[in-house]
């Protein structure tokens, strides 16, 4: 039996039994590993950190897309930064009125995932509403003149190529790319082990946006408890959207989900006391 042990948090972490190594390469940006596991199906691992698994990817991909899209209610343009496996793109395009631009730094991740973990993108890359740009996300937001109703930062952790996506300069670039009611949502780690990452991002959000905060999702694969998803908005406090409106939008959309629903939408904004204190 081969066991994969993740070292993201140093002294504590997760292990998983591996039945086969399906792919292993080193791109210009990171080490790319796809392994077969008896419990979680195929698993994408970048630079030794578990990114997503076939079995529980929907928790995270549904929460990072449907929550902001149903909070906004009328989004037509989405920008995805990162997201190489295609899970975020797949969920975004379930919203019929949406066109999505995806800016991913490593084309090899896209190619490997389309070929070896096709259930994540489920054909989304071939959708006429999808535009894939292989580039550094910070370069795109600083140089583009396009406007978006939603920016989703589905990045790796703040190390290697992902580090720039946790900077004030990047968030300022996102602010400039957002439409008046535009919403930014970000992958912000597991705060029990990566608290400073969340504190820093929320501090930057507070300096740039009138409304910001974070919401929670507990993803089985992300060791250490709840994961924090940051949010920031120019136009409104999305924690105050009328629950009846969220329900009506969700019902009208007729989108099949496995995790997200209007009740989860509301509950996700409940912040534990220790993090309220850490965020001041």
Site residues for ligand SAM per CB under 6 A: 29, 46, 51-52, 57, 60, 81-85, 87-88, 103-106, 109, 136-138, 154-156, 161-162, 164-165
Q: Is 149 noted as a catalytic residue in this protein? A: no
Q: How far is the CB of 6 from ligand SAM (least distance, A)?
A: 13
Q: Which residue's CB is nearer to ligand SAM, number 79 or number 109?
A: 109
Residue 56 or 149 with smaller CB distance to ligand SAM: 56
Least Å distance between CB 251 and ligand SAM? 27
Residue among 154, 157, 176, 200 flagged as catalytic: 154
Q: Which is nearer to ligand SAM, 163 or 279 (CB)?
A: 163
CB of 269 to ligand SAM, least distance (A): 20
**Least CB distance from residue 252 to ligand SAM, whole Å?**
27
Q: Cβ 190 to ligand SAM, closest distance in Å?
A: 12
* Residue whose CB is nearest to ligand SAM in the complex, by number: 84
What does the H/E/C string look like for the chain? Answer: CEEEECCCECCECCEEEECEEEEEEECCCCEEEEEEECCCEEEEEECCEEEEECCCHHHHHHHCCHHHHHHHCCCCEEEEEECCCCHHHHHHCCCCCCEEEEEECCHHHHHHHHHHCHHHHCCHHHCCCEEEEECCHHHHHHHCCCCEEEEEEECCCCCHHHHHHHCHHHHHHHHHHEEEEEEEEEECCCCCCCHHHHHHHHHHHHHHCCEEEEEEECCCCCCCCCEEEEEEECCCCHHHCCHHHHHHHHHHHCCCCCCCCHHHHHHCCCCCHHHHHHHC
Nearer to ligand SAM, 187 or 212 (CB): 187
Give 130 or 138: the residue with its C-beta nearer to ligand SAM.
138
Active site members: 154
């Amino acid at each position: 039996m081969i066991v994969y042990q993740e070292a993201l948090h140093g002294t504590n972490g997760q292990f998983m039994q591996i039945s086969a190594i399906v792919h292993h390469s080193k791109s210009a940006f990171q080490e790319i590993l796809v392994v077969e596991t008896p419990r979680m199906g195929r698993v994408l691992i970048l630079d030794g950190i578990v990114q997503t698994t076939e079995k529980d990817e929907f928790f995270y991909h549904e929460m990072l897309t449907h929550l902001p899209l149903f909070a906004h209610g009328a989004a037509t343009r989405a920008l995805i930064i990162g997201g190489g496996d295609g899970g975020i793109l797949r969920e975004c395009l379930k919203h019929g009125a949406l066109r999505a631009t995806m800016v991913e730094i490593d084309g090899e991740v896209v190619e490997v995932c389309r070929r070896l973990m096709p259930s994540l993108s489920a054909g989304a890359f071939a959708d006429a509403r999808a535009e894939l740009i292989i580039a550094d996300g910070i370069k795109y937001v600083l140089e583009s003149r396009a406007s978006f109703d939603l920016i989703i930062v589905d990045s790796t952790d703040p190390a290697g190529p992902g580090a720039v996506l946790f900077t004030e300069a990047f968030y300022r670039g996102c602010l400039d790319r957002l439409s008046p009611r535009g919403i930014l949502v970000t992958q912000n780690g597991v705060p029990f082990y990566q608290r400073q990452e969340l504190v820093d991002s929320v501090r930057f959000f507070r300096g740039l946006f009138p409304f910001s905060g974070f919401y929670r999702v507990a993803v089985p694969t992300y060791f250490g408890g709840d994961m924090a998803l940051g949010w920031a908005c120019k136009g409104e406090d999305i924690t105050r959207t009328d629950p009846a409106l969220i329900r009506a939008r969700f019902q009208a959309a007729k989108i099949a989900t496995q995790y997200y629903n209007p009740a989860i939408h509301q509950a996700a904004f409940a912040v534990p006391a220790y993090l309220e204190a850490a965020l001041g």
